[in-house]
Amino acid sequence: MKAPKLLTIIIMLAGININTAYASEHHSGHGGSSSGGGGSENACSKPQLTKFTPAHLETAARGSAFSFLAFNVEKPEQIEVTVKSIPVTLTTEDKENFYIVKGMLPSELHDTIARINIKVNAKIPRCEGENGWLVKITD
């Protein structure tokens, strides 16, 4: 009598595991695809911010130029940059698949290490991005 009960329990547990796997595989918005499932109009790709100039931990003069590339950004107005919490005015150049973003290090900063902090704002929080790098600012 013990064997049939044990077999019944094993079959029930196997059924639960199969249902759980099926549900997690087929519910949209819980991973699996970068668009969030369903191909809805809310699909997006995370912004990619690369090619930082000057490079990470390089030395740069105060007031000098910096630049980076921004991929998967809908409009350049979504990009905000601060250096030590000081907002930076940006210029952008549209290259169809990405933007070249340029700015100037604040002239009031000198003899310090500062993070150039980039934030890309979007209507949908999962479509936002943030990145940055450190530079040594000299006179």
Distance CA 137, CA 63 (A): 9
Note the pLDDT tens digit of each residue in 64-119: 999 999 999 999 999 999 999 999 999 999 999 999 999 999 999 999 999 999 99
Q: What residues form DSSP beta bridges with 49?
A: 70
CATH 2.60.40.10 fits 48-138, yes or no: yes
E strand or H helix at 24: helix 2-26
Give me the DSSP letters along 114-133: EEEEEEE--SSGGG-EEEEE
| Domain boundary assignment for the chain | 1-40, 48-138
Note the pLDDT tens digit of each residue in 1-58: 566 776 666 666 665 555 444 444 444 343 444 444 445 555 788 999 999 999 999 9
Q: How many CB atoms lie within 10 A of CB 87?
A: 11
Q: What is the pTM of this model?
A: 0.69
